[in-house]
Amino acid sequence: MTEPLRPRAIGTSLARLDGRAKVTGTAIYAFEQPLERATYLHPVQATIARGRVTAVDTATAEALDGVVAVLTHVNAPRLASTDDAELAVLQSDEVAFRGQFVGAVIADTPEVARHAASLMGVSYDEQPYDVQLRADRDDLYAPEVVNPSFPTDTDDGDVDAALESAALTVDQTYSTAMQHNNPMEPHTTVAIWNDDGLTLYDSTQGVHAVRTTVAPVFGLDPERVRVIAPHVGGGFGSKGMPHAHVVLAGLAAQVTSGRPVKLALTRQQMFSLVGYRTPTIQRVRLGADSDGHLAAIAHDVVEQTSKIKEFAEQTAVSTRTMYASPNRRTSHRLAALDVPVPSWMRAPGECPGMFGPEVAMDELAVACGIDPIELRVRNEPATDPESGLPYSSRNLVGCLREGARRFGWDRRDPTPAARRDGGWLVGTGVASSTYPAYRQPGSVANIRSGPDGRFTVRIGAADIGTGTWTTLTQIAADALDVPVEAVDLQIGDSALPMATVAGGSSGISNWGSTIVGVARAFRDKYGPDPADGSETEGETPDNPASERFAMHAFGAQFAEVRVHADTGEIRVPRQLGVFAVGRIINPRTARSQFIGGMTMGLSMALHEHSVMDPSSGHVVNHDFAEYHIATNADVGDIDAVWLDEHDPHLNPMGSKGIGEIGIVGAAAAIANAAYHATGTRVRDLPITADRFLP
């Protein structure tokens, strides 16, 4: 058990400390740093999916007034390391996917850079390519591990025999679409290369992650790379690690004689360069007795990666721990395609991986004639089925029950297609939600006392909209036993002490634990009245409890769906999420995280689909007009609440991460509600109007 922090600021709805800057638009994002003599970079992208660049005509572009430099694979500065093929920008003539960088123009103005880039004539030797994910491909392979380091396959008990003898079975294939993170702030890097080394104003979820990744690529000591990101316009995983554009900006900055190079990818360019969620094809088999007790679960996933760099989404991992079943099998198989590199997108693994199984559970509930909540309750495990460890806390049942009460579930008639309101068929659905309580070592915090009882707390953490500026201040205040007004937090700069990336819903757990540990050491050393300039620095403390307990957050998602009987239009007038996530640091920002995740889940359920066109080899709906994300009008009455969960094993704050669980299960709840509304079972996302038409 970690020594719990006495909460005073923690648990209060402190308004965002960066609120004023954001509502006036004066918070400075990466592209907005006031810099003298800046240049603008516009990339040139490959228009073939595989092959070689045979020639680039740069003369017309170079002759244009205002062009500072033109880069191609021929003249671009050499990188010190090309081990990461995604980051080996302009180092060879090879084209591995359509949209890859094959050149760039640096100019005095954005207008000239864009125009010049359009004048670059690139010739190719085009080779056959392959961009189609199918479950029946004969070249699927098993990766060594799945993201980040889970076993690829698991097999416990005898699934086949259990399915054979089960009274009831579900055997269906589900699919989730390719999706793009699409944070509102485009991926942006402003690079300055001078005698001090490389400075990057970058839109990133982790300034230190960028520094440690990029420094060896350029052959620089990490100390000579500085990354600054005080405000980040969303990331959702795509800004979790540096992508090729960061390297391109760094290359360009080497040829501008110290002038800053500004690069913001266009929305269209983001569809081929900054990662995406792989499409998944999931076969789910459930076997149960007539009372709905699971005897077997099998979850076999097919997904894609790129040929140049492997990313294996851990889609079936949540199935390993979700429900009690003596026989369990999961597998992941990949198709390596001539496509951009897939990567993290909000709740990689859990988000797509809880779609298939949670719809399958709904199908099993129908087959058993058991309420879908009751079915889940009956399959609640006493300990983690995967590890055998006890859960530090697991309140899935509590979430389901509380949600049922709030949502009016007891009035639900399970009969599908039995409710109509005007032209609309109405239904409700439920699904479970889960996300691991990850924790990583390696963050460092520095606390220094100033005059007038103030404290400066320094850690290279990130606020990507999650509320870090506010919540870490609350944690630091409680850790130092001072009011929040006495804390000056500094984050978002690699000149600050090392911090883990804002990912895996682990930021607050990692950074907060570190700050608490350092604050305690500070007080131990300097007492309640430290002299001005007293200072303590330290690393994330160990948590031995993580060896003894399985640590996961849980939740229940409820949705009401309406499907128009004539047109098939689908709407979600009501969503409720109930979560059990340990202690909530800040109810105001926490609720935003939950409903934000649920809204993105709605968007995934109804809208999001990156259309990979096999005949052109790229995502053709590459803008916000064609790649739909939910608008304001798509979201109805949405709310999130949480149980009062006390878990002393997690960290001093008693908190689990909350950035991702909100999206997990949301799409399944909507799909289940759509079935309840219409009697049509849609197993492939997104659920669009045409699914309900003949």
Partner 1 sequence: MQAQITLSVDGEQRSLTIDTRTTLLDALRERLGVTSPKKGCDHGQCGACTVLLDGRRANTCLALAVAHDGARITTAAGLEDGDNLHPLQQAFIDHDGFQCGYCTPGQICSAVGMLDEFEAGHPSHVTQDPTGPQQLDDDEIRERMSGNLCRCGAYANIVAAIRAVAP
Partner 2 sequence: MIPFDYQRAADGASAVATVTRRPGAAFLGGGTNLVDHMKLGVADPDLLVDVTRLPYDAIEQLPGGGVRIGATVRNSDLAADPLIRSRYPVLSEALLAGASGQLRNLATTGGNLLQRTRCVYFQDVTTPCNKRQPGAGCSAIDGWTRNHAILGASEHCVATHPSDMAVAMAALDAAVVVLGADGERSIPLVDFHRLPGDEPQRDTVLEHGELITAVDVPALGFAVRSAYRKVRDRASYAFALVSVAAALDIDGGVVRDGRVALGGVAHKPWRATRAEERLRGAPADDATFAAAADAELAQARPLRDNGFKVAMARNTLVAVLRDLAARDQGTKDRP
For residues 556 and 373, what is the distance between their CA atoms, to the nearest angstrom? 9
Choices 125-133, 220-228, 352-360, 629-637 (CB under 8 A): range interacting with partner 2: 629-637
User: Between residues 62 and 537, which has the closer beta carbon with respect to partner 2?
Assistant: 62
Q: Which does 118 bind (CB under 5 to 8 A by kind): partner 1, partner 2, none?
A: partner 2
Q: Pattern 607-626, binding to partner 1, x per CB under 8 A?
A: ----------------xxx-
Decide if residue 266 touches partner 1 (CB under 8 A).
Answer: yes
Q: Which does 21 bind (CB under 5 to 8 A by kind): partner 1, partner 2, none?
A: partner 1
Q: Which does 689 bind (CB under 5 to 8 A by kind): partner 1, partner 2, none?
A: partner 2
For residues 99 and 272, what is the distance between their CA atoms, to the nearest angstrom? 6
Q: Which does 588 bind (CB under 5 to 8 A by kind): partner 2, partner 1, none?
A: partner 1
In the block, which residue shows the tokens 């079936």?
Answer: 316
H or E element: which one contains 124? strand 121-126
User: Between residues 161 and 611, which has the closer beta carbon with respect to partner 2?
Assistant: 611
Q: Which residues contact 399 (CB under 8 A, 6 or more apart)?
A: 433, 554, 555, 556, 578, 579, 580, 643
Parallel, antiparallel, or unpaired: how do β-strands 487-490 and 154-156 relate? unpaired
For residues 182 and 271, what is the distance between their CA atoms, to the nearest angstrom? 8
Q: Which does 28 bind (CB under 5 to 8 A by kind): partner 2, partner 1, none?
A: partner 1
Do 574 and 555 meet the contact criterion of CB atoms below 8 Å apart? Answer: no
Q: Closest Cα partner for 503 from 316, 278, 347?
A: 347
| Identified binder of partner 2 from the candidate list 424, 438, 549, 594, rule CB under 8 A | 424
Decide if residue 184 touches partner 1 (CB under 8 A).
Answer: yes
Q: Which of 185, 313, 608, 660 is an active site residue?
A: 660
Q: Pattern 570-589, binding to partner 1, x per CB under 8 A?
A: ------------------xx
User: By CB under 8 A, what part of segment 493-512 binds partner 1?
Assistant: none
Decide if residue 593 touches partner 1 (CB under 8 A).
Answer: yes
Decide if residue 562 touches partner 2 (CB under 8 A).
Answer: yes
Decide if residue 573 touches partner 2 (CB under 8 A).
Answer: yes
Strand partners, 552: 436
Strand partners, 192: 199
H or E element: which one contains 156? strand 154-156
Write the DSSP string, 41-98.
Answer: EEEEE-SSSSEEEEEEE-HHHHHSTTEEEEEETTTSPPPS---SGGG-TTSSSEE-ST
Task: Provide the sign of the torsion angle of the four alpha carbons 489, 490, 496, 500, taken in this order.
Answer: positive
User: Between residues 183 and 504, which has the closer beta carbon with respect to partner 1?
Assistant: 183
Q: Closest Cα partner for 641 from 561, 574, 587, 602?
A: 587
Decide if residue 688 touches partner 2 (CB under 8 A).
Answer: yes
Decide if residue 57 touches partner 2 (CB under 8 A).
Answer: no
| Identified binder of partner 2 from the candidate list 309, 378, 628, 681, rule CB under 8 A | 628
Minimum distance from residue 189 beta carbon to partner 1 (Å): 15
User: By CB under 8 A, what part of segment 101-130 binds partner 2?
Assistant: 111, 114-115, 118
Told to judge if 660 belongs to the known catalytic residues of this protein, a careful annotator would answer yes
Instruction: Work out the burial of residue 114: count CB atoms within 10 Å of its CB; fewer than 13 is exposed, 13-18 middle, 19 or more buried.
Output: middle
User: Between residues 4 and 66, which has the closer beta carbon with respect to partner 1?
Assistant: 66
Instruction: Work out the burial of residue 598: count CB atoms within 10 Å of its CB; fewer than 13 is exposed, 13-18 middle, 19 or more buried.
Output: buried
User: Between residues 479 and 682, which has the closer beta carbon with respect to partner 2?
Assistant: 682
Total residues at interface with partner 2 (CB under 8 A): 40
Q: What is the CA radius of gyration of the chain?
A: 26
Decide if residue 161 touches partner 2 (CB under 8 A).
Answer: no
Instruction: Work out the burial of residue 23: count CB atoms within 10 Å of its CB; fewer than 13 is exposed, 13-18 middle, 19 or more buried.
Output: exposed
Encoding tokens for residue 160? Answer: 């086949």
User: Between residues 8 and 114, which has the closer beta carbon with respect to partner 2?
Assistant: 114
Q: Which does 599 bind (CB under 5 to 8 A by kind): partner 2, partner 1, none?
A: partner 1
Q: Closest Cα partner for 46 from 100, 124, 109, 5?
A: 100
| Identified binder of partner 2 from the candidate list 630, 640, 661, 667, rule CB under 8 A | 630
User: By CB under 8 A, what part of segment 24-83 binds partner 1?
Assistant: 24-29, 31-32, 34
Decide if residue 626 touches partner 2 (CB under 8 A).
Answer: yes
Residue 569 CB: number of other CB atoms within 10 A? 15
User: By CB under 8 A, what part of segment 589-608 binds partner 2?
Assistant: 606-607
User: By CB under 8 A, what part of segment 128-147 binds partner 1?
Assistant: none
| Identified binder of partner 1 from the candidate list 187, 231, 333, 683, rule CB under 8 A | 231
Minimum distance from residue 241 beta carbon to partner 1 (Å): 18
Choices 88-96, 226-234, 520-528, 674-682 (CB under 8 A): range interacting with partner 1: 226-234
Q: Closest Cα partner for 564 from 377, 426, 465, 462?
A: 426
Query: Could you tell me the CA-to-CA distances from 42 to 150, 266, 435, 633 in Å, in that order?
Result: 39, 9, 39, 35
| Identified binder of partner 1 from the candidate list 43, 206, 230, 233, rule CB under 8 A | 233
Decide if residue 297 touches partner 1 (CB under 8 A).
Answer: no
Minimum distance from residue 4 beta carbon to partner 1 (Å): 27
Minimum distance from residue 591 beta carbon to partner 1 (Å): 7
For residues 56 and 64, what is the distance between their CA atoms, to the nearest angstrom? 16
SS (H, E, C) 501-542: CCCCCCHHHHHHHHHHHHHHHHHHHHCCCCCCCCEEEEECCC
Residue 317 CB: number of other CB atoms within 10 A? 24
For residues 467 and 469, what is the distance between their CA atoms, to the nearest angstrom? 6
Total residues at interface with partner 1 (CB under 8 A): 63
Minimum distance from residue 28 beta carbon to partner 1 (Å): 7
Minimum distance from residue 185 beta carbon to partner 1 (Å): 4
H or E element: which one contains 170? strand 168-176
Decide if residue 657 touches partner 1 (CB under 8 A).
Answer: no
Strand partners, 13: none
Write the DSSP string, 396-459.
Answer: HHHHHHHHHHHHTGGG----TT--EETTEEEEEEEEEEEEE----S--EEEEEE-GGG-EEEE-
Residue positions annotated with a catalytic role: 660
Q: What are the residues binding partner 2 (CB under 8 A)?
A: 45, 47, 111, 114-115, 118, 422-424, 562, 564, 566-569, 571, 573, 606-607, 611, 613, 615-616, 620-623, 625-626, 628, 630-634, 688-690, 693-694
Question: Where on the chain is the footprint of partner 1 (CB under 8 A)?
Answer: 15-16, 18-29, 31-32, 34, 109-112, 115, 182-186, 231-234, 236, 264, 266-267, 464-467, 588-589, 591-593, 595-600, 603, 623-625, 629-633, 635, 637-639
